């Protein structure tokens, strides 16, 4: 019965794309829902492509086929074959109706793809996850995004056990059935691919709000969760409403069904899912209240709610032709969310946060064995390609295009894109063509960004000619080779720039050959390997502010003098570049500590920050970010041979130096001042103060633990909300303070019933730096609350350890690697998607120093030799260990 297609010909290649030989015009689905077994009836109205002559083949995995009929007549055994994940049917014609009935087993589904059970058998509920290829675990179907069908869904179930029945689309009737059962029907008027199908059934509560779209549609918004969490859905409902309004105002996009449902689950492989009319969320990105949710998480909830909502147009109304085009919906939707979040919060902080994420998660991906283009050329398992490259770098590419077109031009382009491709599956070429045509431009050179992996290095050199009063900026680019792409071509790199005089004033820019009026900021596009840009009327050597707002996803190498960076840190009105100047100074200070003898660089960085510390005009959140040097992962990216323990020690030392320069008394005073208004309000100003308070406490703990740890304990005990509580707990735990034990016990007791808070309890301990982390992780694995079956719990403990704690994971004795490899093999048998993602913690192992490198290699080799790995994990391990 189970038919998996692990043995199917691999890999799948972009260049082999062919349109579907058979489409489904209409799908009528019928569910008899049960926890151990559910039956799914499907009536598929088929259309054949007259240009192709292929047999009817439908995808299906782990389905028990109960009945099959074609055009009303049962099909005898010889007329169909089901093997290797494919059902082949003889005798179908254009207009045929294929009927199948299958049985699936939700309670046994630990992969959390297809129809599965969230929570316990007694109290849990049923739900589906279909992206990317989960629908084939529900019924037989051409499970590919370019097959768009109209769906009618009827759900039947026991009323007491499953009082709530939901599916995507508009409600179309409900009623009673004999034997305590009931039914509900949903019709989705918008053709959609199977990956956007969803249903939910169980005991759930809701909160509701009426919403009227700009074009006049009355919509019922409902957020659903299990009863204990319904009080924590309010914030998400408000965020949803804000996102809907913003999309109307910014892109003219209106919602298009009468209902919009959002459901929270604790059992989810990813963040959330944009199923048409029935979004399903990992509870971590939906539930929020001050007692259990940190400020960072509040912002994440707002962002993810918006992201999924924005997919209704960028993803659902216009979907992807094939999975190679994934960034068409994801890069675009991340960009739209970034715009929205910048608008709702602080644009500079949002940009800093996003670029920091790009550097932490995407740059390492682009620099290692897992590197792939934003539009990959091939894959074995598409679920492995929901990556920082496809999402975050993809968003940067859209940002470059939007910057090139300007606000009005980008809107014109988006209008054309939505109008032209509405109700269809599109490609990245279609996207660039629409943006370009609406503006009379050829944007096709930007396609190279989608095809080429690796992060370009941009070098900048400036030369001032006093006699000619010119400043010549020479920009050059180079992209290092990545696996399978040894030679790289130049890409169009938009560089937004300004020039400052030595008093910190911006100069008017007169670019050679340019006739338009001089402004103080402009974008130049480096299209070749190297180009000169000559600015006229420049009396003295200026200080360039380059790549403002991070105008392209590149690594900038510019030979700044420290006082030039200090000038930008003090004066650049571009908040991002101001922060960036501080980061560059920190990097120099770090290198000076590492290499010795560069005392001036350390003192320079500390002095620049000390000068800003009491600047009342500075946003406290920006100050907190300025006081934070680049993280250990980013620092490792810059080393030829990585020793994570040494990086950790040096970075701690660097922060200690900063703390000493600021002075213990000053830090304590600041902490006291910030602690005075210790509420838990989620507004931006209060969030900013808490962010700075955390940073100040962390610095003080490095400088003077005897003063800081009792302060942390007091902050823990008196905290009004999770942000302050967790910040204090983290300081106590990371310093292995005597007070940590009590605080951990108190936290555990206080939040025993809340899985999301408990995840934080696991994560904070998994991030104890250095040698002690491993023993702690092992002990926590034995905790009754730990399970490999829950992805959030796995990420909290093993993910935080392996990906969020470099000095703890990368032990010289290799015990961290062996632990992870063992768990990966166990987890893979339960949930291949989560296992494969966790395995990416090994990315970068080839650049470790020799002792660790050999340990990592051995652990990976043992895992590779394990024999029965899923396609997901095997693909990742295969890339890591070529």
* Residue ranges in contact with ligand 0A1 by CB under 6 A: 129, 131-132, 269-274, 307-308, 330, 386
Give 61 or 754: the residue with its C-beta nearer to ligand 0A1. 61
Give me the least distance between CB of 282 and ligand 0A1, in Å please: 9
Give me the least distance between CB of 271 and ligand 0A1, in Å please: 6
Residue carrying structure tokens 């309670």: 107
Partner interacting with residue 386 (select from ligand 0A1, Zn ion, none; CB below 5-8 Å by kind): ligand 0A1
Give 384 or 439: the residue with its C-beta nearer to ligand 0A1. 384
Taking alpha carbons only, the member of 231, 209, 366, 361 closest to residue 286 is: 231
Partner interacting with residue 99 (select from ligand 0A1, Zn ion, none; CB below 5-8 Å by kind): none
Give me the least distance between CB of 308 and ligand 0A1, in Å please: 6
Give 129 or 723: the residue with its C-beta nearer to ligand 0A1. 129
Q: Two tokens at 188?
A: 């989705």
What backbone torsions phi and psi does residue 278 show, to the nearest 5 degrees?
Answer: -145, 75
Partner interacting with residue 625 (select from ligand 0A1, Zn ion, none; CB below 5-8 Å by kind): none
Partner interacting with residue 765 (select from Zn ion, ligand 0A1, none; CB below 5-8 Å by kind): none
Partner interacting with residue 188 (select from ligand 0A1, Zn ion, none; CB below 5-8 Å by kind): none
Partner interacting with residue 59 (select from Zn ion, ligand 0A1, none; CB below 5-8 Å by kind): none
Give 312 or 870: the residue with its C-beta nearer to Zn ion. 312
- How far is the C-alpha of 130 from the C-alpha of 112, rounded, in Å? 9
Q: Calculate helix-pair angle for 428-437, 394-421, nearest 10 degrees.
A: 80
- How far is the C-alpha of 501 from the C-alpha of 523, rounded, in Å? 19
Beta strand 38-48 pairing with 22-32: antiparallel
Give 315 or 844: the residue with its C-beta nearer to ligand 0A1. 315
Catalytic one among 28, 274, 308, 632? 308
> Using CB under 5 A as the criterion, what x/- string covers residues 556-575 for binding Zn ion?
--------------------
SS3 assignment, position 505: coil
Give 391 or 579: the residue with its C-beta nearer to Zn ion. 391
SS3 assignment, position 122: coil
Partner interacting with residue 269 (select from Zn ion, ligand 0A1, none; CB below 5-8 Å by kind): ligand 0A1
Give me the least distance between CB of 232 and ligand 0A1, in Å please: 20
Q: Two tokens at 499?
A: 């020039």
User: Considering only 63-71, 188-196, 240-248, 331-339, which stretch makes contact with Zn ion by CB under 5 A?
Assistant: 331-339
- How far is the C-alpha of 237 from the C-alpha of 209, rounded, in Å? 8
Give me the least distance between CB of 366 and ligand 0A1, in Å please: 20
18 burial class (0-12, 13-18, 19+ CB within 10 angstroms)? Answer: exposed
Give 767 or 790: the residue with its C-beta nearer to ligand 0A1. 790
Q: Two tokens at 413?
A: 């382009």
Partner interacting with residue 337 (select from Zn ion, ligand 0A1, none; CB below 5-8 Å by kind): none
* Residues in the chain, total: 882
The site that binds Zn ion (CB under 5 A) totals a number of residues, namely 2
- How far is the C-alpha of 86 from the C-alpha of 645, rounded, in Å? 50
Give 99 or 392: the residue with its C-beta nearer to ligand 0A1. 392
Give me the least distance between CB of 330 and ligand 0A1, in Å please: 5
Q: Two tokens at 239?
A: 């965020």
Taking alpha carbons only, the member of 464, 453, 443, 432 closest to residue 390 is: 453
- How far is the C-alpha of 69 from the C-alpha of 55, rounded, in Å? 16
Q: What is the DSSP letter of 631?
A: P
Give 279 or 687: the residue with its C-beta nearer to ligand 0A1. 279
187 burial class (0-12, 13-18, 19+ CB within 10 angstroms)? Answer: middle
Taking alpha carbons only, the member of 673, 726, 653, 812 closest to residue 712 is: 726
Give me the least distance between CB of 314 and Zn ion, in Å please: 9
- How far is the C-alpha of 833 from the C-alpha of 849, rounded, in Å? 30
CA dihedral of 17, 19, 21, 27, whole degrees rounded to 10 = 120
Sequence-distant contacts of 768-771: CB under 8 A, at least 24 apart: 768/733, 768/734, 768/736, 768/805, 768/808, 769/648, 769/734, 769/805, 769/807, 769/808, 770/645, 770/648, 770/807, 770/808, 771/808, 771/811
Taking alpha carbons only, the member of 38, 39, 40, 17 closest to residue 28 is: 40
Query: Which residues lie below 8 Å from residue 560, measured CB to CB, with a gap of 6+?
Result: 543, 584
The dihedral region occupied by 469, where left means phi > 0, alpha psi between -120 and 50, and beta the remainder, is: left
Give me the least distance between CB of 307 and Zn ion, in Å please: 6
Partner interacting with residue 353 (select from Zn ion, ligand 0A1, none; CB below 5-8 Å by kind): none
Query: Which residues lie below 8 Å from residue 300, measured CB to CB, with a gap of 6+?
Result: 284, 285
Give me the least distance between CB of 38 and ligand 0A1, in Å please: 19
- How far is the C-alpha of 642 from the C-alpha of 619, rounded, in Å? 35
Give 38 or 265: the residue with its C-beta nearer to ligand 0A1. 265
Cβ atoms within 10 A of the Cβ of 324, count?
25
Residue carrying structure tokens 């299906």: 60
Q: Give Cα 63 distance to the centre of its chain.
A: 31
Partner interacting with residue 314 (select from Zn ion, ligand 0A1, none; CB below 5-8 Å by kind): none
Give me the least distance between CB of 261 and ligand 0A1, in Å please: 16
Give 297 or 330: the residue with its C-beta nearer to Zn ion. 330
Give me the least distance between CB of 6 and Zn ion, in Å please: 27
Give me the least distance between CB of 215 and ligand 0A1, in Å please: 25
Query: Which residues lie below 8 Å from residue 605, measured CB to CB, with a gap of 6+?
Result: 582, 585, 586, 588, 589, 658
> Using CB under 5 A as the criterion, what x/- string covers residues 576-615 for binding Zn ion?
----------------------------------------
What's the farthest any 2 CA atoms get from each other in the chain? Answer: 95
What backbone torsions phi and psi does residue 872 show, to the nearest 5 degrees?
Answer: -60, -55
Does 308 qualify as catalytic in the annotation? yes
User: Considering only 328-336, 553-561, 730-738, 856-864, which stretch makes contact with Zn ion by CB under 5 A?
Assistant: 328-336
Give 119 or 271: the residue with its C-beta nearer to ligand 0A1. 271
User: Considering only 327-335, 404-412, 420-428, 492-500, which stretch makes contact with Zn ion by CB under 5 A?
Assistant: 327-335
Q: Could you give the residue numbers annotated as active site?
A: 308
User: Which residue ranges make up the site for Zn ion (CB under 5 A)?
Assistant: 330, 333
């Amino acid at each position: 019965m189970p038919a998996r297609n692990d043995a199917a010909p691999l890999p799948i290649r972009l260049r082999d794309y062919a349109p579907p030989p058979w489409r489904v015009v209409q799908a009528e689905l019928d569910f008899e829902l049960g926890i151990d077994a559910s039956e799914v009836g499907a009536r598929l109205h088929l259309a054949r492509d007259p240009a192709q002559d292929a047999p009817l083949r439908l995808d299906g995995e782990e389905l028990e086929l109960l009945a099959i009929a074609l055009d009303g007549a049962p099909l005898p055994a010889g007329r169909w074959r089901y093997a290797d994940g494919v059902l082949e049917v003889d005798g179908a014609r254009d207009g045929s109706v294929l009927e199948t009935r299958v049985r699936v087993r939700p309670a046994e589904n630990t992969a959390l793809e297809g129809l599965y059970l969230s929570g316990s058998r007694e109290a849990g509920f049923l739900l589906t996850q279909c992206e990317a290829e989960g629908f084939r675990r529900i019924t037989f179907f051409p499970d590919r995004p370019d097959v768009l069908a109209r769906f009618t869904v009827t759900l039947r179930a026991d009323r007491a056990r499953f009082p709530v029945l939901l599916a995507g689309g508009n409600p179309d009737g409900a009623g009673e059935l004999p034997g305590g059962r009931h039914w509900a029907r949903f019709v989705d008027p918008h053709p959609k691919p199977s990956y956007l199908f969803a249903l939910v059934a169980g005991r759930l509560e809701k909160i509701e709000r009426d919403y009227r779209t700009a074009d006049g549609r009355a919509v019922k918004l409902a957020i659903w969760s299990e009863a204990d969490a319904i009080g924590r859905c309010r914030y998400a409902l408000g965020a949803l409403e804000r996102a809907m309004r913003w999309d109307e105002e910014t892109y003219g996009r209106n919602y298009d069904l009468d209902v919009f449902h959002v459901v929270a689950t604790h059992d989810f492989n990813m963040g959330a899912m944009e199923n048409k009319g029935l979004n399903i969320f990992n509870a971590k990105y939906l539930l929020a209240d001050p007692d259990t949710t940190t400020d960072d998480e509040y912002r994440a909830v707002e962002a993810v709610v918006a992201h999924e909502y924005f997919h209704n147009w960028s993803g659902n109304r216009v979907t992807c032709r094939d999975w190679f085009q994934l960034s068409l919906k994801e890069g675009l939707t991340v960009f739209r969310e970034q715009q929205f979040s910048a608008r709702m919060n602080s644009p500079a902080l949002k940009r800093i946060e996003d670029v920091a994420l790009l550097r932490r998660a995407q740059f390492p991906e682009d620099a290692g064995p897992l590197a792939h283009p934003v539009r990959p050329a091939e894959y074995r398992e598409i679920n492995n390609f929901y990556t920082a490259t496809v999402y975050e770098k993809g968003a940067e590419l859209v940002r470059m295009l939007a910057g090139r077109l300007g606000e009005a031009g980008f809107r014109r382009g988006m209008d054309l894109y939505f109008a032209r491709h509405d109700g269809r599956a599109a490609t990245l070429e279609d996207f660039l063509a629409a943006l370009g045509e609406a503006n009379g431009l050829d944007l096709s050179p930007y396609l190279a960004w989608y095809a080429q992996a690796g992060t370009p290095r941009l070098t900048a050199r400036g030369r001032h000619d006093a006699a000619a009063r010119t400043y010549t900026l020479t920009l050059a680019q180079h992209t290092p080779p990545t696996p399978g792409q040894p030679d790289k071509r130049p890409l169009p790199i938009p560089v937004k720039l300004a020039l400052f005089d030595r008093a910190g004033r911006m100069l008017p820019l007169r670019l050679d050959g340019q006739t338009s009026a001089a402004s103080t900021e402009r974008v130049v596009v480096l299209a070749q390997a190297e180009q000169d840009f000559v600015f006229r009327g420049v009396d003295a050597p200026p200080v360039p502010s380059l790549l403002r707002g991070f105008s392209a996803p590149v690594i900038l190498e510019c030979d700044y003098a420290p006082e030039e960076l200090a000038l930008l840190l003090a004066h650049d009105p571009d908040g991002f570049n101001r922060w960036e100047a501080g980061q560059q100074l920190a990097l120099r200070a770090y290198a000076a500590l590492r290499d010795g003898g560069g005392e001036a660089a350390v003192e320079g960085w500390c002095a620049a920050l000390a000068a800003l510390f009491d600047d009342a005009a500075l946003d406290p959140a920006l100050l907190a970010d300025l006081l934070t040097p680049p993280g250990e992962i980013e620092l490792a990216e810059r080393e030829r041979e990585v020793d994570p323990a040494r990086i950790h020690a040096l970075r701690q030392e660097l922060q200690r130096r900063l703390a000493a320069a600021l002075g213990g008394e000053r830090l304590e005073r600041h902490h006291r001042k910030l602690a005075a208004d210790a509420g838990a309000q989620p507004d931006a100003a209060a969030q900013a103060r808490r962010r700075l308070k955390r940073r100040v406490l962390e610095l003080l703990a490095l400088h003077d633990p005897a003063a800081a740890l009792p302060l942390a304990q007091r902050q823990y005990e008196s905290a009004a909300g999770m942000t302050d509580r967790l910040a204090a707990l983290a300081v106590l735990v990371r310093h292995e303070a005597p007070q940590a034990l009590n605080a951990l016990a108190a936290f555990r007791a206080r939040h025993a019933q809340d899985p999301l808070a408990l995840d934080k309890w696991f994560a904070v301990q998994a991030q104890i730096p250095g040698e002690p982390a491993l023993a702690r992780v092992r002990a926590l694995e034995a905790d009754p609350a730990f399970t490999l079956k829950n992805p959030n719990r796995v990420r909290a403990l093993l993910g935080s350890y392996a990906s969020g704690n470099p000095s703890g994971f990368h032990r010289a004795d290799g015990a961290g690697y062996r632990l992870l490899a063992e768990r990966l093999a166990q987890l893979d048998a339960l949930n291949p998607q989560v296992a494969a993602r966790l395995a990416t913690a090994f990315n970068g192992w080839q650049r470790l120093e020799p002792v660790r490198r050999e340990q990592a290699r051995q652990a990976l080799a043992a895992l590779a030799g394990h024999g029965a790995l899923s396609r997901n994990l095997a693909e990742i391990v295969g890339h890591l260990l070529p």
